[in-house]
Amino acid sequence: MINGADGAKLSKRHGAVNVLEYREMGFLPAGLLNYLLRLGWSHGDQEIFSLDEMKTLFDLDHVSRSAANFDPAKLLWVNQQHLQTAPEHELAELLGEHLTRQGLDPANGPPLARAVAALRGRSQTLRDMAEQAHCYYQEFEEFDAKSAQAHLKPTTRAGLIAVRQALTDLGEWSGEAAEAAVKDVAVRLELKLGVVAQPLRVALTGRAASPGIGDTLELVGRTRAQHRIDRALRYIETHAGAAGV
């Protein structure tokens, strides 16, 4: 999401913000152009345009004489639509640039294209995507307090232990295979999938929100997943007394 400083910039009229700042905030050129074009021009009810469509469909006859209002929320929405359709390899390169800008090494994690595929549907900007990807390219310092309180507790310990063993025994490491292993654990322990998957998600990413559990496991990788589950189990053991258990 857009942070406070960026939100303040977007609250101003677009002319007050340098074009390069939009790039740093993670906006795609096509998304920004699409939004600016639609400020004073229309083509029926169509909202999203490719670069080719912008070139071929734009005409002066449909330019409005009324003053346009800059809407930061609409700009984010338009950019999000372009994130869904932009070529994966292009987004991967841009994601790598944002990760590097944020102090991370893109080589210290999954292929960038794989991260794009998992995160593009959850992101409004490339910088937003990069921030969500942090846990796949470096260790996080601590669990989100609310997420840990809700999901890392003695009652979820058995599920985490069973999942860790199932993942250790897994032959092929892929999102599909890992997700199937988690589902098998839930069936075996007669638990709802969420009761197993949510504590695992917190263990893997530090928070309760992430892509699907199979994608998350694939992005984290087997070795990191094992270490992070162990860390979550230690957290449960350490905090059990404080929780009155």
* Backbone CA torsion sign across 199, 203, 208, 210: negative
Residue 173 sits at φ, ψ, to 5 deg, of -100, 100
Question: How large is the angle between the packed helices 4-11 and 72-85, nearest 10 degrees?
Answer: 110
Alpha-carbon gap, residue 60 to 15, rounded angstroms: 21
Q: Which residue has the tokens 């087997």?
A: 222
Active-site residue, 12 included: yes
Candidates 166, 141, 159; CA nearest to 226 is 166
Residue 96 sits at φ, ψ, to 5 deg, of -60, -40
The tokens of 92 are what?
């991967």
Catalytic residue among 12, 55, 74, 153: 12
CA 116 to chain centre: 8
CB atoms within 10 A of CB 122: 14
CB-based contact 189:203 (threshold 8 Å): no
CA R_g for the chain: 22
**Which positions are catalytic?**
12
